[in-house]
């Protein structure tokens, strides 16, 4: 009779007992031998309902997780229900238990999973509970299919933590904007996600960086990724699947051993509305406007009280920021009124030509600076009376980029033929040379000066900009300056040489730092040949290749409604690793088939 009473507890003991067993798929932790500090994470003793329970009530549902010690909620967003409800689950600690309730009823005949990954830690030392997923159903059966994947940034291909992956049976494009998914999961520290116990059907799959945690896509504030095709799960979930184990996120080898079925690249769409979002007058004759969306279209522009030709303007590359200068040396009023006719989004969401008067008032800082110069002429700095320019040259890139000159204000007079260029060879013999000056197509104040003859090692090169040859809109002339450069002779520097073949498109090739957060060098290619990064210091680097489909020299983002992915990015791997370790005095040569790399 006693045995009969104990039989119903056997399945629960079997399921929960596996939580205590060591596994080859996760790190085990043993108590320290030399002290009293607790290093063991909390252990889950029991759940209510039991894992796999069916016919769970939809009204006033409560889930209880009981541990072997007192725990605390470390991250409330880690308590994640799939499919999600309109409001997040309510989680409270009672004694050694976590109680989870819901403000609305659950759906009927639905398989739910509640995941606790990253949500809890013990109360004393803060040891993180690695996680547990409770599956239950409000119907008579548990759905059995599953899928795995990875979410990464479209430009760096770095994994993204905390992205929400969402599955929809509704195939309409509007579903991700209007309705919550039928299944969802959060990505871990490695951008990896696993979704279990879902229906055997066809899904559209999205991922968003859900900033307001409402499980809906907000295109103006959030990033998104989408799978190009419909997806039907092909794997049935079982407890032995490696990808569904709970791992210590610090265990790199185990985490990287998981194999994702799909890959999603997160990008930020162009804003859906166009309007002026920021304006600032940063000087007496200088201002700028910022637009909400790129590719702003301006039909007409003038400043009240001034002839049109007195206004100089310049867009940035994305055409979402506009710089303005007034080419008039008379005293300007405290507020300029810019009359602008441009394509603006109206209340119906339609782009229409709209005339708008923008008041450009001097900022407090600019007004104070002007008053200081007016009232204290003795206190004027030298830079307040000259055409300010920045002239520089980098020995490691001079062969590719030449000398760099940028003026603070647009020029109204220039004499580039007055530049003086000379070289001095190792025997101290001097020779005059000629140069070609190119103005930046996207920055009218920026110029590149390139010698007409190739640089030679051991030579000293001098570029002199003579006095009073350039005049800016303030009426000021330039000071003279001379730049000197010599090709590096440091034998510790290395050279990276890429021999490219099958170049069928235009590509942007970036040499990045090891963390992929800074561009060291950039080159653009559109045909087979050799790409070189000379004079590279030893250290870790990454080489990023971007397929510039529309050949505009920038990396274009994607569009959900147009079903367009962001422009493809690939990283060149050496020995299956993204990071290239450059040694001292190395001549590093690789052959790259671009068609194969982007296949």
Which pLDDT does position 39 carry in this prediction? Answer: 82
For the ranges 61-65, 125-129, 166-170, 507-511, the lowest mean pLDDT is seen at 125-129
Per-residue pLDDT tens digits for 101-117: 999 999 999 999 999 99
Rounded mean pLDDT of 243-258? 94
In this model, does residue 6 exceed pLDDT 50? no
pLDDT value of position 36: 64
pLDDT, position 520: 93
Report residue 105 as tokens.
Answer: 């009823």
Residue 470, pLDDT > 80, answer: yes
586 contact partners, CB below 8 Å, separation of at least 6:
494, 495, 538
Specify whether the CB–CB gap between 237 and 261 falls below 8 A.
no
Strand partners, 542: 512
Dist CA 583 CA 514 (whole Å): 14
> How high is the pLDDT of residue 229?
96
Beta-bridged to residue 426, according to DSSP, are none
Q: Which of 6-20, 489-503, 565-579 has the lowest mean pLDDT?
A: 6-20
**What integer pLDDT is reported at residue 383 of this predicted model?**
72
Asked whether residue 11 carries a pLDDT value surpassing 60, the answer given is no
In angstroms, the CA 437 to CA 446 distance is 10
pLDDT at residue 2, as a whole number = 41
Model confidence pLDDT, tens digit, residues 298-312: 999 999 999 999 999
Of residues 232, 239, 413, the one with CA closest to residue 327: 413
pLDDT given at position 375:
65
pTM summary value: 0.81
Mean pLDDT confidence for 382-401: 91
Average pLDDT over residues 539-564: 93
Residue 32 predicted with pLDDT over 50: no
Cross-strand partners of 589: 497
**How confident is the model over 212-234, as a mean pLDDT?**
95
| Domains defined along the chain, listed by start | 2-137 (2.60.40.1220), 145-266 (2.60.40.10), 276-372 (2.60.40.1220), 384-486 (2.60.40.3710), 494-597 (2.60.40)
Neighbours of 447 (CB within 10 A): 21
The DSSP-derived string for 375-419 is: H-GGG--GGGSS--EEEE--TTTHHHH-EEEEESS-EEE--GGG-
pLDDT digits (tens, 9 = 90+) for 141-161: 999 999 999 999 999 999 999
Confidence of residue 380 (pLDDT cuts 50, 70, 90): low
pLDDT at 512 over 90: yes
Pick the closest to residue 462 from 437, 430, 418, 488 (CA basis): 430
pLDDT band of residue 27 (cuts 50, 70, 90) is: very low
pLDDT (mean) for 77-95: 96
Tell me: pLDDT of 90 over 60: yes
């Amino acid at each position: 009779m006693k045995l009969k009473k104990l039989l119903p507890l056997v399945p629960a003991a079997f399921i929960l007992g596996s939580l205590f067993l060591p596994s080859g798929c996760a790190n085990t932790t043993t108590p320290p031998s030399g002290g009293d500090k607790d290093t063991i994470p909390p252990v889950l003793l029991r759940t209510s309902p039991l894992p796999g329970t069916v016919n769970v009530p939809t009204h006033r549902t409560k889930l209880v997780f009981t541990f072997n010690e007192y725990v605390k909620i470390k991250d409330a967003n880690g308590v994640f229900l799939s499919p999600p409800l309109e409001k997040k689950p309510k989680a409270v600690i009672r004694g050694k238990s976590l109680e989870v309730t819901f403000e609305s009823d659950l759906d009927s005949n639905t398989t739910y999973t509640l995941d606790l990954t990253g949500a809890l830690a013990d109360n004393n030392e803060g040891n993180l509970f690695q996680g547990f997923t409770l599956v239950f159903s409000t119907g008579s059966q548990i759905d059995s299919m599953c899928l795995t994947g990875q979410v990464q940034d479209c430009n760096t291909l770095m994994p993204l933590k905390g992205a929400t992956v969402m599955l929809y049976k509704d195939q309409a494009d509007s579903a991700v904007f209007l309705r919550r998914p039928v299944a969802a999961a959060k990505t871990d520290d490695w951008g990896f996600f696993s979704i279990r116990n879902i229906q055997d059907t066809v899904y559209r799959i999205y991922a968003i960086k859900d900033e307001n945690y409402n499980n809906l896509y907000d295109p103006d504030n959030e990033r998104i990724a989408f799978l190009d095709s419909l997806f039907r799960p092909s794997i049935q979930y079982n407890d032995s699947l490696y990808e569904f184990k709970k791992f210590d996120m610090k265990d790199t080898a185990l985490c990287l051993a998981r194999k994702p079925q799909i890959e999603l690249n997160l990008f930020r769409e162009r804003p859906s509305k166009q309007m002026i979002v920021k304006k600032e007058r940063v000087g007496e004759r200088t201002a700028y406007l910022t637009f909400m969306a790129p590719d702003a279209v301006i039909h007409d522009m003038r400043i009240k009280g001034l002839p049109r030709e007195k206004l100089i303007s310049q867009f940035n590359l994305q055409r979402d920021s506009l710089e303005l200068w007034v080419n008039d040396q008379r005293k300007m009023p405290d507020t300029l009124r810019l009359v602008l006719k441009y394509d603006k989004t109206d209340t119906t969401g339609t782009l229409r030509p709209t005339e708008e008067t923008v008041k450009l008032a001097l900022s407090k800082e600019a007004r104070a600076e002007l008053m200081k110069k007016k009232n204290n002429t003795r206190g004027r700095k030298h830079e307040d009376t000259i055409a300010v320019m920045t002239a520089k040259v980098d020995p490691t890139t001079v062969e590719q980029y030449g000398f760099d000159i940028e003026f603070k204000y647009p020029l109204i007079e220039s004499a580039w033929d007055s530049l003086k260029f000379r070289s001095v060879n190792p025997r101290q013999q001097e020779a005059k040379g000629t140069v070609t000056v190119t103005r930046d197509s996207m920055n009218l104040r920026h110029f590149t000066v390139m010698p007409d003859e190739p640089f030679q090692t051991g030579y000293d090169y001098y570029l002199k900009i003579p006095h009073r040859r350039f005049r800016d809109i303030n009426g000021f002339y330039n000071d003279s300056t001379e730049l000197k450069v010599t090709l590096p002779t440091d034998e510790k520097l290395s050279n990276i040489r890429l021999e490219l073949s099958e170049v069928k498109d235009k590509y942007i090739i970036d040499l990045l730092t090891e963390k992929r957060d800074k561009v060291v060098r950039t080159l653009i290619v559109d045909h087979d040949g050799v790409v070189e990064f000379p004079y590279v210091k030893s250290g870790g680097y990454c080489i990023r290749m971007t397929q510039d489909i529309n050949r505009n020299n920038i990396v274009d983002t994607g569009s959900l409604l147009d079903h367009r992915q962001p422009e493809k990015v690939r990283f060149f791997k050496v020995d299956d690793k993204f990071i290239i370790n450059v040694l001292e005095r190395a001549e590093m040569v690789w052959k790259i088939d671009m068609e194969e790399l982007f296949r």
